[in-house]
Structure 1
């Protein structure tokens, strides 16, 4: 990151996080579609509709057209600004809070993990409805006409509270990912040689962000698989869904499909969130540096 760490008002953190998030999703969204398709598969081996990342890409393009790789992007685009803004702003604000509570002046590894986890929990409450809409649209069997149709149908048939289906699984997913992401970024940056050049700092940001995103993905993928299945389940009054709560769902998938099923979609997910984590950090840092120049003067 930049050596200039002067604090900025929340509005600058919000705008920087929003720009970083939208930049990342526009670049990486097709991988998210493929990840969801693979995670929703119940079959394994030769019986699976998609045998892997490349096969899934090829079949979507051949059978449904290239535009299908961007189906549902309106929901995450609308989500990404508040989501990423909340992620970085919450990480910064919770970091200040914990440093004050524990009486330390500098961030350390333990505080970086705690801060990231708390920021992830904060972020979860923002993203659940958008994630729900996105999952319903990304499913191959989706019959919805678009984002508004998804919302109207869910509210009408499942009730308004159904827009928060999967909240518990989302909390698990975001707490684990953010703890890994921000914790690893702190550790990697402490090990990398310090750079006095803008190019060197950008490379450090890309490397630490990519490693952080990869480790976060390794930790949270089982929760992401469960979240996708819970949110793609249409609730029927009086019927207990097959996938309902996180830990029982993890046990069910493990029993029925084996341990490997808990990491379905891992490759497209890590290909997105590894490099995507680097993109996020670089864009966020660049924006924050720009706004410091605006706010404090060159």
Structure 2
């Protein structure tokens, strides 16, 4: 049956709204990524450190980067990080909202709040998996370029001169499939991060509003972003450590690879460095996720309001 004029207009509005949301998420993600990237770089360096030195901490690592490379050294790898979020964030945010609304509509519910936390967690995790598979090559380049800073600090030549050079060399030396190295721990991390982040933000914001702790404003968005950042960090940090180490390793001169799989990386990390090593970089990760989510969610919610869209 041919849809009515009202149904066609509704479909057009839905498509238009989706395009607007993709643009708004991209803008908000760029702002959040740029403002918190130095913390992400520090976290990556900590996770790549396989030593058991108790003196290694986030402040010391950040200080060494500034001393050896200058303040701009804290932004090594920013361009592929932004490219990643131009792919990753719009897909996961819009996919989650569409999944949530579709399930609510199918159940005859009246809003996202009618979904259980477990249902939101599954929707968030699934959305993150889809987005991460698409964005994994950009994530790989970001991690490799961040790790290059350690080579520079040791007086060695960096492997890559820029994002395009990194992409070209990875394809030439490791094959096209090499762009998805670490994709499995990456996907695992994305599932856990988005399960904690999206579901917790959505649920926490509605909890705050429904219990009249705050209206649907910056206070509710801030509280929800802090809570979601903590839960996402706790769930995802072990997978993040494995992902970072898997993505950074490349075949040596003799083709030797340190970790054969993400499981092998997990086992060796725990056996050699102890269980606590799986949460290396926890505080800089949380310190980044908190501000990142604050900047992202507050700006995204505000941009939605300006664009005439309903609250997330």
- Verify same fold: TM over 0.5: yes
Structure 1 residue 200: Cα displacement: 6.1
- 1:3 aligns with none
- 1:26 aligns with 34
User: Aligned pair 1:153/2:169, yes or no?
Assistant: yes
Which structure has the bigger radius of gyration? 2
Question: In terms of mean alpha carbon deviation, does 94-103 or 22-31 score higher?
Answer: 94-103
Deviation string 1:22-49 (CA, Å, 9 cap, x unpaired) is 0101100000110111100111125xxx
Structure 1 residue 104: Cα displacement: 4.3
- 1:87 aligns with 92
Question: In terms of mean alpha carbon deviation, does 178-187 or 264-273 score higher?
Answer: 178-187
Structure 1 residue 238: Cα displacement: 8.5
> SS of the residue aligned with 2:307?
helix
Q: Which runs of structure 2 are paired with 1:18-97 in the superposition (5 Å)?
A: 18-45=26-53, 51-97=56-102
TM-score, with structure 1 as normaliser: 0.88
Partner of residue 111 from structure 1, selected from 102, 109, 119: 119
The whole-number CA distance in structure 1 between the counterparts of 2:285 and 2:74 is 14
RMSD: 2.5
- 2:271 aligns with 255
Question: 2:209·2:216 contact (CA, 8 Å) conserved in 1?
Answer: no
Provide closer, same or farther for how the CA distance between residues 232 and 86 of structure 1 changes in structure 2, counting only shifts above 3 A: same
The whole-number CA distance in structure 1 between the counterparts of 2:37 and 2:106 is 39
Structure 1 residue 98: Cα displacement: 3.0
> SS of the residue aligned with 1:51?
coil
Question: 1:22·1:81 contact (CA, 8 Å) conserved in 2?
Answer: yes
The whole-number CA distance in structure 1 between the counterparts of 2:260 and 2:109 is 41
The whole-number CA distance in structure 1 between the counterparts of 2:206 and 2:307 is 25
The whole-number CA distance in structure 2 between the counterparts of 1:244 and 1:92 is 37
Question: 1:221·1:263 contact (CA, 8 Å) conserved in 2?
Answer: yes
User: Aligned pair 1:228/2:244, yes or no?
Assistant: yes
Question: 1:98·1:115 contact (CA, 8 Å) conserved in 2?
Answer: no
Question: 1:195·1:201 contact (CA, 8 Å) conserved in 2?
Answer: no
- 1:201 aligns with 217
- 1:216 aligns with 232
Question: In terms of mean alpha carbon deviation, does 240-249 or 16-25 score higher?
Answer: 240-249
Runs of 4+ residues deviating >6 angstroms: none
Question: 1:205·1:282 contact (CA, 8 Å) conserved in 2?
Answer: yes
Question: In terms of mean alpha carbon deviation, does 142-151 or 98-107 score higher?
Answer: 98-107
TM-score, with structure 2 as normaliser: 0.84
Bigger RCO (CA 8 Å, 6+ sep): 1
- 1:124 aligns with 132
Structure 1 residue 160: Cα displacement: 1.1
Unaligned runs of at least 5 residues, structure 1: 1-5
